[in-house]
Amino acid sequence: MAAQTPTAGGSDASTETALYLYGVTWAEAARSQRGAGVHGASVGAIRHRELAGLTSPVESTKVRAKRRDLLNHAEVLKKALEHGTVLPLRFGVAFESAEALVEDFLDPRYAELVQLLRSFEGRVELSVKAFFREEAILGEVVRGNPRIKQLRETTRTSTGSSMYPLRVELGERVAAELQERTLRARQALLDRLSRLAVDVQVDQEPIEHRVLAASFLVERKRVAAFDDAMNELAKEEEPRMQFKYLGPLAPHSFVALSAEAR
């Protein structure tokens, strides 16, 4: 799709079209952007000085999106990342027209967006999740704590209601052990991986058996070293942990605009 260049006069028909916005990139890098976006529309760029908004036309700003559209949004950003630095937008932002995109967003925020893009130059996001495998970690807990081991022996052979307080005690002690082991393991993983990163965002929500959910901002040239570290960690933590490792991604977890003009 040819780039739509908004002009002050705005006589171009394309400026009447509502535009869905995926991300902001350097105008130079936006040239090579291709592919299908929301509702299958082809992706193009709206340039403003050194910046470009990656967009595709939508029927109106009130469009409804489905699963395929979410996947396409992510795919557009992934492709953009292959061509250079990109500031990813959250799903669901659309402007009335190309002029509105420039006048309400790219122009008033020009300096801030340029600065943001520069700050992410040559950097990518890597997402890491680690989970305890329940059977393995519980086995570890039982073997490592004599009182838990003893309570287990007592309560598993007898089912009577007299065992209730002991069961609660057993569970409470297991929960405490799990929490301690989770925090310790999380810190160990963070210590290892943070050294390779420029910045880290940790999701603190306490999900059962989740040891770590974190995003790391990493220099592209250090991604290979990060890969190695992940492989080593996964081997070391076998079989009690399993990992999910995603990236390189655009810096979704690290972009933010200043609040005042939002």
Partner 1 sequence: MAIATQGTASNYLQRAPSPSGLADVVELILDKGLVIDAYVRVAVIGIELITIDARIVIASVDTYLRFAEAVNRLDLTQTEAAGLAELRDGGGNGDGKTKGMVEGAKDAFSKDDKEKERAKRG
Positions 219 through 248 that interact with partner 1 (CB under 8 A) = 227, 230-232, 234-235, 237-239, 241-248
Q: Does 180 bind partner 1 (CB under 8 A)?
A: no
Among 45, 46, 117, 141, binds partner 1 (CB under 8 A): 141
Cα dihedral value 116, 120, 124, 129, nearest 10: -50
Applying CB under 8 A, among 162, 205, 258, 260 the residue interacting with partner 1 is: 205
Among 45, 87, 117, 197, binds partner 1 (CB under 8 A): 87
DSSP tag of 103: I
Mapped onto helix, strand or coil, the DSSP state of residue 245 is strand
Which is nearest to 189 in space by CA: 135, 242, 233?
233
**Residues 7 to 36: which contact partner 1 by CB under 8 A?**
20-21, 23-24
135 binds partner 1 (CB under 8 A): yes
Q: Which amino acid is it at 12? A: D
Q: Among 89, 193, 212, 217, which residue interacts with partner 1 (rule: CB under 8 A)?
A: 89
| Least spacing, CB of residue 194 vs partner 1, in Å | 19
Q: Give me 132's structure tokens.
A: 């305890």
Q: How many CB atoms are closer than 10 A to CB 37?
A: 22
105, 120, 216, 226: which one contacts partner 1 (CB under 8 A)? 105
Among 43, 52, 80, 174, binds partner 1 (CB under 8 A): 174
- What is the rounded CA–CA span in Å between residue 39 and residue 32? 21
Compare residues 47 and 101 and give the one whose CB is closer to partner 1. Answer: 101
The residue (of 75 and 219) whose beta carbon lies closer to partner 1 is: 75
CA distances from residue 144 to 103, 149, 173, 177, 233 in whole angstroms, order as listed:
63, 8, 12, 10, 22
Stretch that binds partner 1, among 6-14, 43-51, 82-90, 191-199 (CB under 8 A): 82-90
Local structure of 6: helix, strand or coil: coil
**51 contacts partner 1 (rule: CB under 8 A):** no
Q: Least distance (Å) from partner 1 to the CB of residue 1?
A: 20
List binders of partner 1 among 182-201 (CB under 8 A): none
**Nearer CB in complex with partner 1: 12/75:** 75
Report DSSP state, residue 173. Answer: H
Q: How far is the CB of 248 from partner 1 (least distance, A)?
A: 7
Q: Pick from 26, 44, 57, 95: which binds partner 1 (CB under 8 A)?
A: 95
Structure letter (DSSP) for residue 66: -
Residues 6+ apart with CB under 8 A from 83: 25, 29, 30, 32, 33
Is the omega angle on the peptide bond into residue 6 within 30 degrees of 0, that is, cis? no
